Structure 1
């Protein structure tokens, strides 16, 4: 039994060490099992499926605005060579997302709620930074490792008990613990990282970074009275935390903005 535990631990440690890389933009170590060369293929495949099912707006002032602002930010990002694509989805959803390889979408409700160009730039800068920093690949990799670890726990527990209910309970607890203490907190850290780098990008593209603070102030107002999950059960940080962190670095963002405006 001890040998089995040591073997499982050794496998996990080896897999983790082999997939840790240092992000050139942030300097942070990232656990990513997917080669960077596969990002474009994964993003393209996912975007193809989106195009088959979602009502994408191909033309019109709003769609053109999103593409123009997105292209401007992508051009000064740390990965301008990605096959960037910015689309508008005609659905009443207050959301935006980025796929690996530079595929970005904004939903119509989000675009209409933040019509100001600088506010849209804050949203698009945030999504561009997710793609640049490979957050999607990182989150998928952590999920894969989480599944491997939970499966290993099942093997270990299953070898020590004949009670299937105990073994199942251990699997459930292991999965919940992994999500609560690994996946969710890391998702929040990636959101804050995207806020930071995205605001730098929008400033370098010539958009006033103070608009990023306005975005989260407005988002907070929209949510008031609607309830919601406590922060510790959410994959996103609280709006107040995002606002505080942005305001704390505003001098840095404004310095980049002034350089871009010269």
Structure 2
């Protein structure tokens, strides 16, 4: 019993010590990974993508376009000194992503179907993810959830000799963590990146109203024309994103200097 209490106290101290305040948003974040490791982690992950995917492009017209727009956004961002790298993945996918340390990828279908200003909205969003350290935050939360689930299983195993009961407790713990922690928080980060990214694109000289145009167009481009309900998705619905962006458009236009 004493050992168990001691373990809980050590875990609580660890969790408390990993809460920081984001300098850009002022929001408290739980991050176990030091910022000094972002570059190495992002570079390692990007190299793995390059090694495992034959469709990665690091040169050519599409890459140059993405880099040109990306550098305009990075220049006015809150962290232009990151070792930014922009690549294109030549696959018919409506997607883009950012890794820690400023590694950004855009899929060719996005580039082919979006105007330059709409692509700037995508890149502003992804650059915001990297600067706000959303990847490190999501990984950190996932690590703690896994530790908590393991602890729940151990406690259930001590409390009952029924393996089915213990397994059910672990499953329920995992479901709760996924449904009430991971997914809602991920949607919050997406909306946060929308907001900060739209400020970046406006400062870079792109009309922020194109961020709204982007999500309207994305709704039409999605295969089948449908989307997952917000409560089952790690991303907000397109309608939710549009509503949030439109409600703050006066603020975004204040940053826009054509």
Q: Which residue of 1 aligns with 2:63?
A: 63
Cα distance in 2 for partners of 1:10, 1:105 equals 41
**Any idea what SS the aligned residue of 1:159 has?**
helix
For the pair 1:209 / 2:208, whether they are aligned, the reply is yes
8 Å contact from structure 2 (residues 219, 225) kept in 1? no
Cα distance in 2 for partners of 1:253, 1:226 equals 29
- Counterparts of residues 23-34 of structure 1 (less than 5 Å): 23-34=22-33
**Could you tell me how far 1:48 is from its partner in structure 2?**
0.8
Structure 1 pair 118/126, CA: closer, same or farther in 2 (3 Å)? same
Q: Please give the TM-score of this superposition, normalised by the length of structure 1.
A: 0.94
8 Å contact from structure 1 (residues 199, 212) kept in 2? yes
8 Å contact from structure 1 (residues 8, 152) kept in 2? no
Cα RMSD between the aligned structures? 1.5
**Could you tell me how far 1:57 is from its partner in structure 2?**
2.2
* Runs of 4+ displaced beyond 3 Å: 3-9, 223-228
For the pair 1:75 / 2:75, whether they are aligned, the reply is yes
Q: Deviations over 1:139-189 (max 9, x none)?
A: 000000001111111111111100011001100110011010000000000
8 Å contact from structure 1 (residues 12, 149) kept in 2? no
Q: Which residue of 2 aligns with 1:130?
A: 129
Segments of 5+ residues of structure 2 without an aligned counterpart are: none
Q: Which residue of 2 aligns with 1:52?
A: 51
Q: Please give the TM-score of this superposition, normalised by the length of structure 2.
A: 0.95
Q: How many residues align?
A: 257
Q: Which residue of 1 aligns with 2:198?
A: 199
